[in-house]
Amino acid sequence: MTYGPSEGAAGLRTEELPGLSLRNVTKQFVSGDTVVTALNDVNLDLRKGECAALLGPSGAGKSTLLMIAGCLMAPTAGSVIIDGNVLYDSTAGERALHDDREFRRKHIGFVFQKAHLIPFLTAVENVQVAMEINDVRPSEARERAQVLLDDLGVGDRAGNLPRQLSGGQQQRVAVARALANEPSLLLADEPTAALDAQRARQVMELFQHIAHKRGASVIVVTHDHRALEHFDRILMQQDGRLSERSEPSEVAT
Ligand SMILES: Nc1ncnc2c1ncn2[C@@H]1O[C@H](COP(=O)(O)OP(=O)(O)O)[C@@H](O)[C@H]1O
Ligand SMILES: [Mg+2]
């Protein structure tokens, strides 16, 4: 089954297509005689402009879900559809229908627990590099990178090296880099784990803003139950299964 750009998953028009759909996604890791089912028949539709938190205990499969949603890893079974593009569809016996790397660069932004900035490049250069990989001219890339840093409240640190920035500032630069190519899907894996409560809250606000103002679909893996008010949806991953809480307040703190 394929979903063309003009005819969506449920006969929806293109502009109504979910930003991300996971259909019956299963991921198993096999080592020797041991099989770990990290994702067990996971289904998810995330609209454009929706910001979702993904909670769950360690080992529940949260990072695996993000890697598969972000095309860094293929599912064992099931489909991944991003903005109407079928990336994997194991029911059709097809894999990697697009060039993964190119698709990823253009459509998907990642933020990890650590900023992973290039240490010998300044803040603005770290963002600029992500654009130049996609053939944006250096002068234009520089200008856009500066605008992003300004938007994220670290414009005045553009000329600083990563080691001259605080953890929160580095993480903002990492978010700017993830947004460099205006991704339709932003995936963040415990991005605030290394930050204090106030910085963590600011970064969560940023993700909310990116979803609501830029219309991206956003998933943030977090253990921080204090920041859940910033999310439209609360997803729970447990023993490979994905479920949803209708109200953030239902989540035990
Ligand atoms: N590359 C891998 N090879 C083998 N097992 C893995 C691999 N990645 C994750 N796993 C296993 O899959 C399960 C889910 O892991 P993960 O997605 O990292 O969980 P979480 O991010 O929720 O802590 C765990 O049991 C983990 O050990
Ligand atoms: Mg993880």
Nearest CA, atom 5, ligand 1: 29
Q: Would residue 41 count as lying in a domain?
A: no
Q: Would residue 235 count as lying in a domain?
A: yes
Q: Which residues surround ligand 2, an ion (CB under 5 A)?
A: 63
**C-beta of 38 in contact with ligand 1 (< 6 A):** yes
Largest CA distance in the chain: 54
Q: Would residue 133 count as lying in a domain?
A: yes
CATH of the domain at 218: 3.40.50.300
**What per-residue confidence (pLDDT) applies to 87?**
82
Q: Would residue 75 count as lying in a domain?
A: no
Q: Would residue 236 count as lying in a domain?
A: yes
Two tokens, residue 32: 């020797």
Say how many Å lie between the CA of residue 217 and the centre of ligand 1.
24
Q: Would residue 241 count as lying in a domain?
A: yes
Nearest ligand, CA 56: 1
How far apart, in whole angstroms, are the C-alpha atoms of residue 157 and residue 208?
Answer: 23
Nearest CA, atom 26, ligand 1: 59
**What per-residue confidence (pLDDT) applies to 6?**
43
Q: What is the DSSP letter of 227?
A: G
What domain range is 221 assigned to?
A: 47-66+99-250
- Tens digit of pLDDT at every position of the chain (253 positions): 344 444 444 444 555 788 999 999 999 999 899 999 999 999 999 999 999 999 999 999 999 999 999 988 889 999 999 988 888 777 665 555 556 778 888 889 999 888 999 999 999 999 999 998 888 899 999 999 999 999 888 999 999 999 999 988 999 999 999 989 889 999 999 988 877 788 788 888 889 988 999 899 999 999 888 788 889 999 999 999 999 987 655 555 4
Between 167-178 and 123-132, two packed helices, what is the crossing angle to 10 degrees? 20
Q: Would residue 169 count as lying in a domain?
A: yes
How far from chain centre, in Å, is Cα 77? 21
- How many domains, the chain? 1
**C-beta of 222 in contact with ligand 1 (< 6 A):** no
Measured from the Cα of 67, ligand 1's closest atom is: 17
Find the helix or strand (DSSP H, E) in which 106 lies.
helix 100-107
**C-beta of 29 in contact with ligand 1 (< 6 A):** yes
**What per-residue confidence (pLDDT) applies to 134?**
82
CA angle (148, 151, 154) in 5-degree steps: 85
pLDDT tens digits for range 227-243: 888 899 999 999 999 99
pLDDT tens digits for range 79-89: 999 988 888 77
Q: Would residue 81 count as lying in a domain?
A: no
**What per-residue confidence (pLDDT) applies to 234?**
96
Please report, for residues 104, 106, 191, 231, 253, the alpha-carbon distance to residue 212 in angstroms, rounded to integers and kept in the order given.
22, 20, 19, 10, 26
